[in-house]
C-alpha cells in the first residue's frame, strides 16, 4: 500500500467514524468507485485504523472514563459489602445496606450498561446481514439516506436538559438500540445514538459524550473479534510504515472531529451532515440503477 492511500484511508476512517456520516458506508463507496480499501493492508491494517480512533476517544474522554472505571470498582465493592451484610442479617444481625447508585457517575455507568445490552444483541443478530450488505453498494447508499433522516430529526428536536440523574432505564435501552443499528453499513453509529439521546431529552453535549463513551467498548470489542477471527495475523515490514501512518492520521482526524462535534453540540447544525449523507446516498443509488 502506498503512503498516500494509507493517509487517505486514515483520514476517511478517522473523520467518518466520529462525524455522524458512517465510516462503513464511506469505505465501501471508496472501494467501489476508487478501488481503495482495507484489503490492501489486511486485517491488521483495519485493526490499527480502529486503534487510532480508539486512542482519540480515550484521550478526549479520559476524565469520564477514569470516573466510570473508578465508580465501577467501588460499585462492585459496595455490592460485595451488601452481600456480606445480607448474610450477617440472615444470621440475626441488623446491619444497614450501602446505597449502590449514590452519585451521577454511578447512574451514568448503569445507563451505559443498559445501553450496551441491546447494542450487542443487535450486533450479533445483524452481523451476518451486515457482512452480506457490504458486497452491494446500494445498501450503504440507502442506509446513508436513513442516516440523513436521523440527523434531520436530531437538528429539529426540542432541546433537552436531561443528565444522568434524570435519565431512566428506558432512555438507556433506546440509545443502545439506536447505536446497535450502526452495524449496518451506511447507518452512522454516532448519528443514530446521538439522535436517540436528543429524542430522550438528553442535554446536547451530554448526548454527544454519551454516544461516544458508549462506542468505546464497541470499537474495542470489534478489534478483538477481528484479531481472534483472523487466527493469528502478521504484517510485512514494508507494510508496517503505511499502517502506522494511517493509524496516526486516523487518531488525529478523530480527535479533531470529536472537538468539532462537542463545540457545535449546543448549536446542533446537524442538517449539514444530513444534507451531505442524503446527497451522497441519493447519488450512489441513482448511479447503481443507471449503470
pLDDT in tens, 165-206: 899 999 999 999 999 998 899 999 999 999 999 999 999 999
Pairwise pLDDT comparison (28 vs 175), residue with the higher score: 175
Distance between CA atoms of residues 235 and 255, nearest Å: 26
Distance between CA atoms of residues 94 and 79, nearest Å: 17
3-state secondary structure of 105: helix
Distance between CA atoms of residues 2 and 41, nearest Å: 10
pLDDT at 259 over 90: yes
Question: What average pLDDT does this structure show over 27-44?
Answer: 71
Residue located via cell numbers 444470621: 91
pLDDT at 237 over 60: no
Pairwise pLDDT comparison (288 vs 56), residue with the higher score: 56
Average per-residue pLDDT for the chain: 88
Kindly list the distances between the CA atom of residue 258 and the CA atoms of 148, 164, 251, 253, 283, in Å, as whole numbers in the listed order: 19, 21, 11, 9, 27
The confidence band for 243, taking pLDDT boundaries of 50, 70 and 90, is confident
Cell digits of residue 138: 446500494
Distance between CA atoms of residues 181 and 193, nearest Å: 9
Among 215, 153, 187, 157, CA closest to 20: 187
Per-domain boundaries in the chain:
3-290
- Phi and psi for 176 in degrees, rounded to 5? -65, -45
Residue located via cell numbers 444497614: 96
The confidence band for 42, taking pLDDT boundaries of 50, 70 and 90, is low
What's CA 221's distance to the chain center, in Å? 11
pLDDT of 238 reads 61
Distance between CA atoms of residues 41 and 241, nearest Å: 11
pLDDT of 249 reads 96
Task: State in Å, rounded, how far the first CA of the chain is from the last one.
Answer: 29
Amino acid at each position: 500500500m502506498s503512503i498516500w492511500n494509507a493517509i487517505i484511508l486514515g483520514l476517511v476512517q478517522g473523520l467518518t467514524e466520529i462525524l455522524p456520516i458512517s465510516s462503513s458506508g464511506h469505505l465501501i463507496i471508496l472501494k467501489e468507485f476508487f478501488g481503495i480499501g482495507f484489503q490492501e493492508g489486511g486485517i491488521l491494517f483495519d485493526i490499527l485504523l480502529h486503534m487510532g480512533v480508539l486512542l482519540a476517544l480515550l484521550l478526549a474522554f479520559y476524565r469520564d472514563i477514569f470516573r466510570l472505571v473508578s465508580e465501577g470498582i467501588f460499585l462492585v465493592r459496595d455490592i460485595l459489602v451488601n452481600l456480606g451484610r445480607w448474610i450477617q442479617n440472615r444470621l440475626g444481625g441488623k446491619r444497614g445496606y450501602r446505597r449502590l447508585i449514590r452519585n451521577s457517575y454511578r447512574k451514568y455507568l448503569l445507563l451505559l450498561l443498559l445501553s450496551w445490552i441491546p447494542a450487542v444483541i443487535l450486533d450479533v443478530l445483524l452481523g451476518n446481514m451486515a457482512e452480506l450488505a457490504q458486497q452491494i453498494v446500494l445498501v450503504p447508499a440507502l442506509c446513508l439516506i436513513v442516516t440523513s433522516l436521523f440527523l434531520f430529526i436530531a437538528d429539529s428536536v426540542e432541546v433537552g436538559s436531561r443528565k444522568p440523574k434524570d435519565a431512566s432505564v428506558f432512555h438507556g435501552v433506546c440509545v443502545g438500540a439506536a447505536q446497535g443499528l450502526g452495524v449496518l453499513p451506511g447507518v452512522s453509529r454516532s448519528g443514530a445514538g446521538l439522535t436517540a439521546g436528543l429524542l430522550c431529552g438528553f442535554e446536547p453535549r451530554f448526548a454527544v459524550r454519551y454516544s461516544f463513551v458508549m462506542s468505546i467498548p464497541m470499537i474495542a470489542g470489534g478489534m478483538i473479534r477481528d484479531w481472534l477471527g483472523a487466527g493469528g495475523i502478521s504484517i510485512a515490514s514494508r507494510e508496517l510504515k503505511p499502517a502506522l501512518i494511517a493509524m496516526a492520521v486516523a487518531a488525529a482526524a478523530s480527535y479533531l472531529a470529536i472537538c468539532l462535534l462537542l463545540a457545535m453540540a449546543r448549536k446542533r447544525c446537524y442538517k449539514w451532515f444530513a444534507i451531505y449523507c442524503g446527497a451522497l446516498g441519493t447519488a450512489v443509488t441513482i448511479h447503481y440503477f443507471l449503470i
